Structure 1
Amino acid sequence: MPYLYGFDTGFLLFFIPAMILAMYAQFKVQNTFAKYLKVPNRKGYTGVEVARYILDANGLNDVRIERIPGALTDHYDPSKRVLRLSEPVYSQPSIASISVAAHESGHAVQHQHGYFPLIARNALVPIVNFSAQFTWILIILGLIMSSGSLINAGIILFSAAVLFQIITLPVEFNASHRALAMLSQSGIISDDERPKARAVLSAAALTYVAAAAVSIAQLLRLLLIRGDRD
């Protein structure tokens, strides 16, 4: 039953637990990153040095590396073939810095190899951007006008965002797997540093799991609300 004693049960059953997971994931990644940002890697490599090494070792000499402001704002831009590293990751010789840099470099390697989930996710970006603008307009208008068609259209658009979050999971997990393998095989990290790098990458991966959970929870909530309108 979508509503119970005036409460949105979908919000209570799905959305609140997912948001709790998301808050925990954010807390976890921030604390793990901060912890290992203080732990220097034994060879003294900075994030930009590790990123450049991995890119060049994979024939990606043409991929530029840029420094950007903020923390945990690191990303690879496939359209411009640019790897952007936040200030702490770019310049500090820590376990956290080289782990994040290697992860983002993993996305560039995925792009080079035509990794299908990455291609699929990139293809969904324009649709997700469009849905972000109109999903809630359609749903709110549908609720106000009691129009099932408008609500359905909003749910379909929102489903594209959910699919994007789901496809993001293998993309991020694979990038982390590549990162850990490249760091180990190249000798950038030692065997006893490997669990520390894995801790950083695992904490970051949890944020994507949480984001997918929030999207799925919101979709289930909308489906419950739509069912109540039939």
Structure 2
Amino acid sequence: MIGYGYGLFDPTFILIIIGLVISLWASWYVKHNFNKYNQYPSQRGVTAKEAARFILDKAGLSNIQIKQIQGDLTDNYNPGDKTLNLSESTYDSTSVAAIGVAAHECGHAIQDQKNYVPMRVRSAIVPAVNLGSNASFPIIILGMVLGMNHFLITIGIWLFALVVLFQVVTLPVEFNASRRAVNILDSGDLLTSEEVPMVKQVLFAAALTYVAAAISTALQLLRLILIFGNNRE
């Protein structure tokens, strides 16, 4: 598809490069901040697992299990089976960064408990988004193979737009979870007042990865519109 409608040089490819640069920078930035504050053991000496258990129990979520999973920064909350999954680099760590990550995932569990609307919307559109993610480009390619079938190409672009929608809906979910985490940790039960700003840096960097993903995906959508809109004209 590169170069289509523009001869040998496709000026829209710069959009892909911009998105890639933004994503790589965001990935580096979150790892840089996590590694930096992962060197600071919390003064109260609690592990991320213990901090998560404390937060969940205090929120009335003692039914949620905490599990260790493989990977580095693969932490997540699963609303399906009500489990909070902490990665190997987080689970037993007493670092300020690890506690911040665990608190963030607890924020998602609290969102689930309180039926936070953006989280419900995101969960509701997952099937459609999966369809869009898997089928959009095959349908666009099929449309090109069938002599530039604009109906199929338009369907493919709309399906890809669902992926962009998902990325956008994810933003308030992630920022709200981080805000809940900071408010919880700011109470002083788990971290000192000097350590909370460190957590803010880690969670802000993590949130930027979602912003970068949304921008990168939106740029891909814009490129598709430019390429095929130009050809239609």
Q: TM-score range by the shorter chain?
A: over 0.9
Letter in 2 for 1:34: N
Letter in 1 for 2:115: G
- How far, CA to CA, are the matches of 2:208 and 2:5 in structure 1? 31
Letter in 2 for 1:50: A
Matched-pair contact (CA < 8 Å) for 1:124–1:164: yes
- How far, CA to CA, are the matches of 2:44 and 2:10 in structure 1? 54
How far has the Cα of 1:186 moved from its partner? 4.3
Counterpart secondary structure, 1:190: coil
How far has the Cα of 1:132 moved from its partner? 1.9
Letter in 1 for 2:207: A
Aligned length: 229
Task: Give the counterpart of 1:182 among 164, 181, 184.
Answer: 184
Gaps (5+ residues) in structure 2? none
Matched-pair contact (CA < 8 Å) for 2:163–2:217: yes
Which aligned segments of 4 or more residues in structure 1 are displaced greater than 4 angstroms? 2-5
Show the counterpart of 1:149.
Answer: 151
Task: Map 1:21-60 onto structure 2 (within 5 A).
Answer: 21-60=22-61
Matched-pair contact (CA < 8 Å) for 2:140–2:152: yes
Letter in 2 for 1:144: V
Show the counterpart of 2:202.
Answer: 200
Q: Over the residues paired in the alignment, what is the CA RMSD in angstroms?
A: 1.4
Letter in 2 for 1:158: F
- How far, CA to CA, are the matches of 1:11 and 1:97 in structure 2? 38
- How far, CA to CA, are the matches of 2:38 and 2:193 in structure 1? 18
Matched-pair contact (CA < 8 Å) for 1:148–1:229: no
Matched-pair contact (CA < 8 Å) for 1:3–1:9: no
Report which of the two has the higher share of helix: 1
Counterpart secondary structure, 2:12: helix
Show the counterpart of 1:168.
Answer: 170
Counterpart secondary structure, 1:76: strand
Task: Map 1:1-230 onto structure 2 (within 5 A).
Answer: 4=6, 6-12=8-14, 14-145=15-146, 146-230=148-232
Matched-pair contact (CA < 8 Å) for 2:5–2:231: no
State the identity %.
45
How far has the Cα of 1:140 moved from its partner? 1.0
Residues 185-218 of structure 1, C-alpha deviation per residue, up to 9 Å, x if partnerless? 1431111111111111011011000000011001
- How far, CA to CA, are the matches of 2:194 and 2:7 in structure 1? 55
Letter in 2 for 1:229: N
Query: Which moves more between the two structures, 137-146 or 112-121?
Result: 137-146
Matched-pair contact (CA < 8 Å) for 1:155–1:219: yes
Gaps (5+ residues) in structure 1? none
- How far, CA to CA, are the matches of 2:136 and 2:94 in structure 1? 43
TM-score, length basis structure 1: 0.96
- How far, CA to CA, are the matches of 1:162 and 1:64 in structure 2? 32
- How far, CA to CA, are the matches of 2:153 and 2:188 in structure 1? 52
Counterpart secondary structure, 1:39: coil
